[in-house]
């Protein structure tokens, strides 16, 4: 696996040398314009779906969990204790794979002193199950997704302290793998630890492709953003490496982009491709996933059309939903922003 990743990274490096970087791959509009599912939202950060096909989404700055049913947006509840400042607030949301039995939803949010993961039944008081994830005005991570193994994964940031990423005693700069009660999941690589992988700077996208292979999108510093293939116990190099490097202690990314063309947040797998939402890049990156565990040349969709993009989720009706993030203080919102879009013409 390591050899294959290095080969892909080497190919990417050779491509860069030739002047055809992943980020400069063809940037074409999607063949079909997306449909607006909801508009005039306030920084929709993450989207998850209930078994009946309706959607839940978080609003980072209002601390609200909201729903979309039959095209209608409604408030579900406000999460108490959310401290929305800088890049922090109410972020990730995930629905239990056993929702029919336990009716449980999970959220990731910034509190007064840390970032937290909590679980709750809709309409009831959330119960924190993981606390002590480092917080800052930047690099709070925030993505929550259930993996095909039934465990909950969380992407965290280094909390503005790059030393957290290599410190296995810190929950910052990691991908965590936990049970529904917040405990370390069975089979985790480090004894009595929630840590699944480390050496990350700021993970805001998690997705699984064919064969249960796991991928993560990660913010770089000033040079390279990354798409990584995640494996248990591996070290992804931050802060020693940003992008591809030659240090054998670290796993190199599958693909890199300049930070101006990506700043990647949400990540979703849909119809044989990974779709990565770009904030500063203001586009949706479409990345072919190959059967041999590699990735193909990315294609930029919707470049500059909908502004900053944050959330990506494959919907039960076989469409792809994408959320904008133009009211997050760094965008130029149009009258209908923020929006959740739905597309099949990708």
pLDDT in tens, 137-172: 999 999 999 999 999 999 999 999 999 999 999 999
Confidence category of residue 59, pLDDT binned at 50, 70, 90: very high
Considering the chain, what percentage of its residues have pLDDT values greater than 90?
88
Confidence category of residue 293, pLDDT binned at 50, 70, 90: confident
Tens of pLDDT, residues 163-209: 999 999 999 999 999 999 999 999 999 999 999 999 999 999 999 99
For residue 336, what pLDDT is reported? 96
For residue 344, what pLDDT is reported? 87
Domain that holds residue 226: 2-343
Q: Is 17's pLDDT higher than 50?
A: no
Q: Is 295's pLDDT higher than 90?
A: yes
Total number of domains constituting the chain: 1
For residue 31, what pLDDT is reported? 47
Q: Is 260's pLDDT higher than 70?
A: yes
For residue 346, what pLDDT is reported? 61
- Secondary structure, 3-state, the chain: CHHHHHHHHHHHHHHHHCCCCHHHCCECCCCCCCEEEECCCCCEEEEEECCCCCEEEEECCCCEEEEEECCEEEEEEECCCCCCCCCCCEEEEEECCCHHHHCEEEEEEECCCCEEEEEEECCCCCEEEEEEECCCCCCCCCEEEECCCCCEEEECECCCCHHHHHCCCCCCCEEEEECCCCCECCCCCCCCCCEEEECCCEEEEEEECHHHCEEEEECCCCCEEEEEEECCCCECCCCCCCCCCCCCCCCCCCEEEECCCCCEEEEEEECCEEEEEECCCCEEEEEEECCCCCECCCEEECCCCCCCEEEEEECCCCCEEEEECCCCCCCCCCCCCCCEEEECCC
For residue 185, what pLDDT is reported? 98
Q: Is 23's pLDDT higher than 90?
A: no
Confidence category of residue 32, pLDDT binned at 50, 70, 90: low
Q: What is the mean pLDDT of the chain?
A: 91
For residue 55, what pLDDT is reported? 98
Q: Is 343's pLDDT higher than 70?
A: yes
Q: Which has the minimum average pLDDT: 13-22, 117-126, 283-292?
A: 13-22
For residue 3, what pLDDT is reported? 35
Q: Is 6's pLDDT higher than 70?
A: no
Question: For 80-85, what is the mean pLDDT?
Answer: 96
Considering the chain, what percentage of its residues have pLDDT values greater than 70?
90
For residue 345, what pLDDT is reported? 64
Q: Is 19's pLDDT higher than 60?
A: no
Which of residues 8 and 133 earns the better pLDDT score? Answer: 133
Could you tell me the pTM of the whole model?
A: 0.91
**Where residue 83 sits, what CATH number does that domain have?**
2.120.10.30
């Amino acid at each position: 696996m390591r050899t294959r990743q290095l080969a892909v990274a080497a190919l990417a490096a050779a491509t860069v040398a030739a002047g055809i970087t992943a980020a400069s791959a063809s940037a074409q509009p999607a063949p079909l314009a997306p449909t607006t599912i909801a508009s005039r939202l306030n920084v929709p950060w993450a989207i998850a779906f209930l078994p009946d096909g309706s959607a839940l989404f978080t609003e980072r700055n209002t601390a609200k969990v909201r729903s979309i049913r039959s095209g209608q947006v409604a408030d579900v509840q406000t999460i108490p204790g959310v401290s929305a400042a800088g890049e922090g607030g109410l972020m990730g949301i995930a629905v239990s794979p056993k929702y029919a039995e336990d009716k449980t939803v999970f959220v990731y949010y910034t509190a007064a002193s840390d970032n937290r993961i909590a679980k709750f039944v809709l309409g009831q008081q959330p119960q924190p199950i993981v606390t002590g994830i480092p917080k800052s005005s930047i690099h709070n991570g925030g993505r929550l997704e259930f993996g095909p193994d039934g465990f909950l994964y969380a992407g965290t940031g280094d909390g503005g302290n790059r030393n957290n990423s290599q410190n296995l005693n810190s929950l910052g700069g990691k991908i965590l793998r936990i049970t529904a009660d917040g405990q370390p999941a069975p089979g985790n690589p480090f004894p009595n630890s929630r840590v699944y992988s480390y050496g990350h700077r700021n993970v805001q996208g998690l997705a699984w492709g064919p064969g249960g292979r796991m991928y993560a999108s990660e913010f770089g510093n000033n040079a390279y953003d990354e798409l990584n293939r995640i494996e248990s116990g591996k070290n992804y190099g931050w802060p020693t490496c940003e992008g591809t490097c030659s240090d054998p202690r670290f796993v190199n990314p599958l693909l890199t982009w300049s930070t101006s063309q990506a700043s990647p947040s949400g990540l979703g797998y849909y119809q044989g491709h990974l779709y990565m939402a770009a904030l500063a890049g203001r586009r949706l990156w479409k990345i072919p996933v190959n059967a041999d565990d590699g990735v193909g040349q990315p294609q930029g969709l919707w470049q500059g059309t909908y502004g900053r993009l944050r959330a990506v989720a494959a919907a039960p009706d076989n469409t792809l939903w994408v959320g904008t993030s133009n009211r997050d203080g760094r965008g130029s919102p149009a009258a209908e922003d923020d929006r959740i879009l739905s597309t099949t013409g990708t």
